[in-house]
Structure 1
Amino acid sequence: MRRSPRVVVLAVLTALAACGTADPPAGSAEGGVSGEVTVFAAASLTETFTELGKRFEKAHPGTTVTVNFGASSALAKQITEGAPADVFASASPANMAQVTDAGAAAGDPTTFARNRLVIAVPAGNPGGVTGLDDFADPGRKIALCAEQVPCGAAARKALDAAGVSAEPDTFEQDVKAALTKVSLGEVDAALVYTTDVRAAGDDVEGIEFPEAGQAINDYPIVVCKDAPNAGAATAFVDLVRSARGRAVLSAAGFEEP
């Protein structure tokens, strides 16, 4: 028995309507990705990952990138304790190992950038700092990162390589906090990353030193095992590792791995 054309049309429209109301796969939007991507990233990545987040949202309409910046050691602890994160970008392999050893990573991390230390001084260098030897001078105010965070561990390596016993006046919980002490003129010098001095603009000056080459930090990145939005997380990591991502990192002063 043949159905009338009207019946056929109604059947087709009903089928199309059903397809239109079906829930899309998680993390998809018109064949791409959608939804919120939560990235846990080292404080020294603040400027670059903020920029990459904007580029990701523009390339993937319907996405929102939320970045939690902080000390890599603190971020790793949060992830291993169950904090909902899609991506983890660490300023050192040691803190990344906290996550992988706990089984909280989906696959193997990839190193996407490197960073080296520089002596940061306030504009005009009022303390007259010239090198690492000045970090042992009790007459100067010095800031270092705490040794459990990557910039602090790297500082310890550099100071040991130079044979300098530093006498810091303050230990900061991440590199941005140490840099703030410098930019406000609260200390004469601090050991921070090259990228942070560049981001600080005219408020801070950088002094290079030879031992920095013995304390370069690798930056690994990985998708978290229990990522709420695994598809978008993978796409974000791909962006960071792409030529476009490397260009953003390079412009900020990061070195390629």
Structure 2
Amino acid sequence: MYRKFTLATVATVALVGTATLVACSNSGTDEGTTVTTSGSASAADSASAAAPAEAVETQLFGASSTRVINDELTRLAGELDPPQDVALNNDGSGTLVTQLNEGADADVLITADTKSMDQAEADGTVGEPQELAANSMVMVVPAGNPVGIRSVEDLDGVDLVLCDPQVPCGGVSEQLEKLNDLDLTPVSLEGAVGDVLGKVTNGEAEAGWVYRTDALAAGDDVEVIDIPHANEASTTLWVATVNNSPNPEAAEALAKLILSDEVATRLEEAGFTPSN
């Protein structure tokens, strides 16, 4: 049996079909808008995630001898998460310990000897220290060795500069003087090993006793003469976080970096003997 379609029926079908097409068209537009909005949000989230973290400002109090690794240390600190912008204060260990005890702001302390770090612990200014590296002393003379010094036995009448006994490099110098049965008469005693080196390189002194690391850093500006028994009077560097650090987490991260294998490699290149 065949079904008859009237004109009204056809018109009704046409209207329904048109309505359906409009509905589908509107639905598609809504979905497209939703997808576009979702994509924009996702891109914004990605941009936000890709934005570099703001650097945390930290302060490192480092013994004068450690200045030779300053550049590498600040570079590596800038690669931490979050990155750190490290301000450096290099001076004699005793001076740094005194500054901390007087309330100076810092996050990490590195001393060039055990005595200074022991004092910082006794003052209650630092946490538990960790052994970092060892250093030993050599004698340096200006490039060309103007007065012809060949050994520690040639220092009579020479303008010799040493560290003050109150700082680590001075304590080591005193030990070496005794070990070598010498009676030295330095023309000046300096508060930091860098000052001893400076007087030799600028011609104010004819010889000076400095750490091996300082001699290496000076390059062609000096000539190096070994001091007998130097290994018997080596000094140990220590690192510790500061108890009143404004940012304890950043202080811990910086101390961990200083004790890392990466920094140990740089220490060795600079002439230190790393402890790890």
Identity of aligned residues (%): 35
Corresponding residue for residue 183 of structure 1: 201
**Rounded Cα–Cα distance in structure 1 between residues aligned with 2:248 and 2:224:** 39
Match of 1:200 among 189, 199, 218: 218
C-alpha contact 1:34 1:232 (8 A) present in aligned 2: no
Matched positions, count:
224
Corresponding residue for residue 124 of structure 1: 144
Corresponding residue for residue 21 of structure 1: none
Match of 1:94 among 109, 115, 138: 115
**Rounded Cα–Cα distance in structure 1 between residues aligned with 2:69 and 2:75:** 10
CA positional deviation for 1:237: 1.1
**Rounded Cα–Cα distance in structure 2 between residues aligned with 1:213 and 1:60:** 39
C-alpha contact 2:137 2:234 (8 A) present in aligned 1: yes
C-alpha contact 2:215 2:224 (8 A) present in aligned 1: yes
Corresponding residue for residue 181 of structure 2: 163
Corresponding residue for residue 63 of structure 1: 84
C-alpha contact 1:33 1:60 (8 A) present in aligned 2: no
Counterpart AA for 2:147: G
Counterpart AA for 1:154: V
Corresponding residue for residue 26 of structure 1: none
Question: Secondary structure of the residue that 1:68 maps to in structure 2?
Answer: strand
Task: Tell me whether 48-57 or 65-74 shows the greater mean CA deviation.
Answer: 48-57
Deviations 1:144-202 (A, max 9, x none): 01110111110000111001010100111100000011111211110000000110111
Deviations 1:110-154 (A, max 9, x none): 11111000001111111211222233x1x2100001110111110
Segments of 5+ residues of structure 1 without an aligned counterpart are 1-29
C-alpha contact 2:77 2:83 (8 A) present in aligned 1: no
Question: Secondary structure of the residue that 1:207 maps to in structure 2?
Answer: strand
C-alpha contact 2:56 2:82 (8 A) present in aligned 1: no
RMSD, aligned α-carbons = 1.6
Corresponding residue for residue 53 of structure 1: 74
TM-score by length of 2: 0.78
Deviations 1:25-79 (A, max 9, x none): xxxxx9x995111010001111213321121113345421001000001000000
The structure carrying a bigger helix percent of its residues is: 2
Segments of 5+ residues of structure 2 without an aligned counterpart are 1-50
Whose radius of gyration is greater, 1 or 2?
2
Corresponding residue for residue 242 of structure 2: 224
Corresponding residue for residue 9 of structure 2: none
**Rounded Cα–Cα distance in structure 2 between residues aligned with 1:126 and 1:155:** 23
1:110 aligns with 2:130: yes
